[in-house]
Structure 1
């Protein structure tokens, strides 16, 4: 799409990373971890997170570009992900200690490439406009300058929250696998005889989350197949971290009204943690303490597994009051991120 932009220094070139080359994968991991350390003080990503973006499996819904110096070393990396209808996620990472002019040129390459990808993705989906959705750590002035200069708009702030877990909290609920109180059952998704999750339960979770988030910021319809494929790509995905909440009022069939999908946050030098990837409650069931029950369940589950924390993300501008619930239950903000959007005309 781009060739070699004139703004790059002589001998630099643009191409695709090789997911079978361990040096390319190691370099991408190093760049991503350095980006995280600068933005929030520590690195959490590893090789598995990079492979989600660049592996053959990941390339079903993604494309990647890298900028190399004359020695062949990767100095900048861009990745786009056709996340759902009208929403394309964009990863934008440039080596932190490059000279300013070279770093600016690398950023220009990544953004121009992402714009071209947006037109391709939007055309394939039959859209007139394709959104590019990217992020930045709060306080990263370089990233904000690049995005604002390229026509992106900062549209949302997110609190990345964490709560410590004590071993005694394994008794917060009767059993994380299933418990009931006041006409509400919290249970794990069922398993078939082969140990696989019950498809009916998975579809219930998808339907609940699609409905619960329909009126939330930047919600975009996602098919069941897209939803399942994307979640299974997460290195922390586990089937025994999917919960459903059902109303079982007397005389009525159980009615799914909420879902929580968790993942494992693995640590290289300490205890693992749990992470709440999704928590959605249907409007008709709000006010019955369903969300709080699901959160108590994931805390108890983490404690029973010997984990030391549960993390989650909350929309700082959400009108639902979710942040107040999390704070009241012990969650605190560890760092802050931002969403930046740009709409690209497809034609």
Structure 2
């Protein structure tokens, strides 16, 4: 007998069950659980998400087997989504996907070039035939890269001549400067969306960020040259969220110095692994930089996109 399937919106009290589902998917896709409850709670409490209309949980035989969420904080017409499903539950996967698409069309109403974007593991639990059959296309690949850390090997590096780092733990003006530097240095990156300061904080879940792990680099005669935003709120590893160098100052070793500085800071805090995500077609040479400093592929993520025609 086929298990009865039910689909309902998620609620804040579902966070632990959603986290368990995501970690079950993690184990299948990347070999170990890497989803933290706090990250799930942050998604469910995002100010731009109405759980009643923007989230779905699919159950088969009373067991949670699929989860979907959509949000629109990336400008007119672009809807982003998360979709997770256990293998072998295509009916639930499709039920959630169809609801995500319907909601995304409503959210993008009035925009000619509306699209829904999903980030999926390169070898996902979702049957990709369900996507290609619905006219999704893969448009970009990212790599999650990791590197081992140790306090003995990862010591604070000597800076390039004249370069000075300051952390952003005590000055609100510096925190706003971080935002400005991220906007400037990432402006040409694929998929970058310009956001005002408050929206940027919400997008990064940065209101509880440890700003002592965020640094601005400055050079005499040039002012603020680069920024490194890292965080230590993941169970599995430390994380480099943003590393950006102003265009005219690239090629001077500033990015590599900031990266090694971040390694040393997190090693000193007792972390044994650091990770980051990178667009493999990034034109600044970021992938080569990370590989040159010992970072290696952990897993790959593909961006899938669906054009949101109003009538489906």
- TM-score, scaled to structure 2: 0.88
- Partner residue in 1 for 2:137: 153
Cα gap change, 1:234/1:145 in structure 2, threshold over 3 Å: closer, same or farther?
farther
Residue 305 of structure 2 aligns to a residue whose secondary structure is strand
2:48 equivalent to 1:85: no
Out of 12, 18, 21, which is 2:11 matched to? Answer: 18
C-alpha displacement of 1:188: 0.7
For residues 299 and 95 of structure 1, do their structure 2 counterparts lie closer, same or farther at Cα, with a shift above 3 Å needed? Answer: same
> Aligned-pair distance for 1:233?
5.5
User: What are the ranges of 5 or more consecutive residues in structure 2 without an aligned counterpart?
Assistant: none
Matches for 1:171-250 after TM superposition, within 5 Å: 171-173=155-157, 181-191=160-170, 198-232=171-205, 237-249=209-221
Gap change, CA 1:222 and 1:343, over 3 Å in 2: farther
Contact 2:68–2:83 (Cα < 8 Å) also in 1: yes
Residue of structure 1 equivalent to 2:97: 111
Give SS of 2:281's match. coil
Aligned residues: 306
The 3-state SS of whatever aligns with 1:171 is coil
Matched, 1:46 2:48: no
Deviation at 1:49, TM superposition (A): 2.2
Matching of residues 323-338 of structure 1 within 5 Å: 323-338=287-302
- Tell whether the 8 Å contact from 1:127 to 1:346 is kept in structure 2 after alignment: no
In the alignment, the residues of structure 1 paired with residue 283 and residue 117 of structure 2 have an alpha-carbon distance, to the nearest angstrom, of 21
Larger Rg: 1
Q: Contact 2:147–2:295 at 8 Å: present in 1 too? A: yes
Corresponding residue number in structure 2 for 1:278: 242
Distance 1:325 1:239 in 2: 24
Instruction: Give the alignment's Cα RMSD to 1 decimal.
Output: 2.4
Q: Deviations over 1:272-315 (max 9, x none)?
A: 63210111111111111111111011011012111112111121
Structure-2 residue corresponding to 1:260 = 228
After TM superposition, give the deviation of residue 120 of structure 1 in Å: 3.1
| C-alpha deviation, 1:242, in angstroms | 1.3
Q: Secondary structure at the match of 1:307?
A: coil
Aligned to 1:299: 263
Distance in 1 between residues matched to 2:82 and 2:188, nearest whole Å = 26
Secondary structure of the equivalent of 1:154?
strand
Question: Is contact 2:122-2:300 (8 Å) kept?
Answer: yes
The residue number in structure 1 matching 2:151 is 167
Local SS of the residue matching 1:167: coil
With normalisation by structure 1, the TM-score equals 0.80
Mapped contact 1:247–1:256 kept (Cα < 8 A): yes
Measured in 1, the distance between the counterparts of 2:268 and 2:178 equals 24
SS in 2 for 1:220: coil
CA shift in 2, pair 1:59/1:150, >3 Å = farther
CA contact (8 A) 2:86 2:125 kept: no
After superposition, the Cα gap between the structure-2 partners of 1:297 and 1:64, relative to the gap in structure 1 and judged at 3 Å, is same
CA distance in 2 between counterparts of 1:153 and 1:331 reads 29
The 8 Å contact of residues 273 and 302 in structure 1, kept in 2 or not, is answered as: no
